[in-house]
Structure 1
Amino acid sequence: MTKLSVNVNKIATLRNARGGNVPDVIETSKNIEGFGAQGITVHPRPDERHIRYSDVRELKPVLQTEFNIEGKPIKSFMDLVLEVKPAQVTLVPDAEEAITSNAGWDTIKYRDYLKEVISEFSSKGIRTSIFVDPNPEMVRGAAETGTDRIELYTEAYAVAYAKGDKDAAKTYAECAELAHELGLGINAGHDLSLDNIRFFKEEVPHLDEVSIGHALISEALYLGLEKTIQKYLKLLS
């Protein structure tokens, strides 16, 4: 079964909009685990506009499932990850002004840089994943960095699927097969939803994990958090 890791950034965004601690990111994350999700994902940014570094520190001792921390490996982020020691760190090439992640790594251009970063995390027993576009060249480049996994950036798939493109997942399937042949695990995330996750799961082989935040939390406004998670788990099984 493909694991579901729920990104709780949007819970923090809602909390920060009003101040205080409602909704409570820690308690909500524990509830998400209780509803069956197999992981919690956070993506702290330097301006802490949603998840704060303090949230990350408070989450680690209470979570029972896999903890995945995403972000650009600047010094403050690396120090945080090395301190907290999550199950997985996902490296994302965030531009400072970006609202959300909008591109994968150029794993050829930044190969030596990524290799150095990954080596440091791996030495502490932290599984590493690199956020990449569905491009075979970038997958091959990722394999040369020493990473354990890649995370396929799925926005292009979601856009194509919404337009009825029956080949929306074809390139992703090819990249997943290549990654598997190269010994890499495969994660996926960005704009996956209840509408498009089944087709992606059926078409893309060797899928270890999906990380879903914005769509899942939005869908939960209508369906409730527990029911939404249960729907995802059924579609991913």
Structure 2
Amino acid sequence: MRYTTRETTFRNADGTFNTTSELIFTPTLQDHRTIFTCQVYHLTSKEQVIKRIILTVNYGPELVIHYRTSDSDVFLPLLKNFIYVEHQSFLELNCTADSNPASIVIWLKKFWARRGGIQLVAGVSSSILKKMNVDHSDSGDYICRAHNGYDSKESALTISLTSDFGSSFPVRSITMPIFVVSITLMLIWCCKRKGWCGPCNSGNSKQNEHRGRSGECSTAEDVDVQKKITTSEL
């Protein structure tokens, strides 16, 4: 049980009584701005005595990031720590900090050569990062950081551009290396398959002669090599 009460009553020297009632609990974020009411009843009083108290709870920031990809759209909660956007598209990120007192909220972009990142925009209780035309230079890791006198929090986010092939892979970071490796492997396979490379086309015919059918060269190629060796010996 979150709330407990404790009441004490003692008699004064003049015969009157004092009664005290205590409400005991541990405040949480949900208790901020909660109204508590103390009511006093007595047989000799025509009206009850009512005292209201508004509770103020001080706490550190809790971050929530919303986004939209059009200036006319409504903001949606960002449920993951990454987002894919089209090249030259619109992107707006709103980082909000729920705290008391209000927090300073900062957007930063991380750079490997700059410890802690570079500050982009800042605000009180919230900060908006807007990109009118997302470019390749806008992709990367971002941080929303908030702090007040009680605590500090940060949330990381990665912005990636969708590939030109229509998939959701980041451009130039994943698609291009896979493409290059695939073409390279295909060329090597064709080279070996057609006999364009390898020991069959090397200049050392003597080694090819002794390789025979156990090597990578075909029988027809061995016959051609043998003819060349015989002609040169004559």
TM-score scaled to structure 2, two decimals? 0.21
Structure (1 or 2) with the greater helix fraction: 1
Structure (1 or 2) with the greater strand fraction: 2
Larger radius of gyration: 2
TM-score scaled to structure 1, two decimals? 0.21
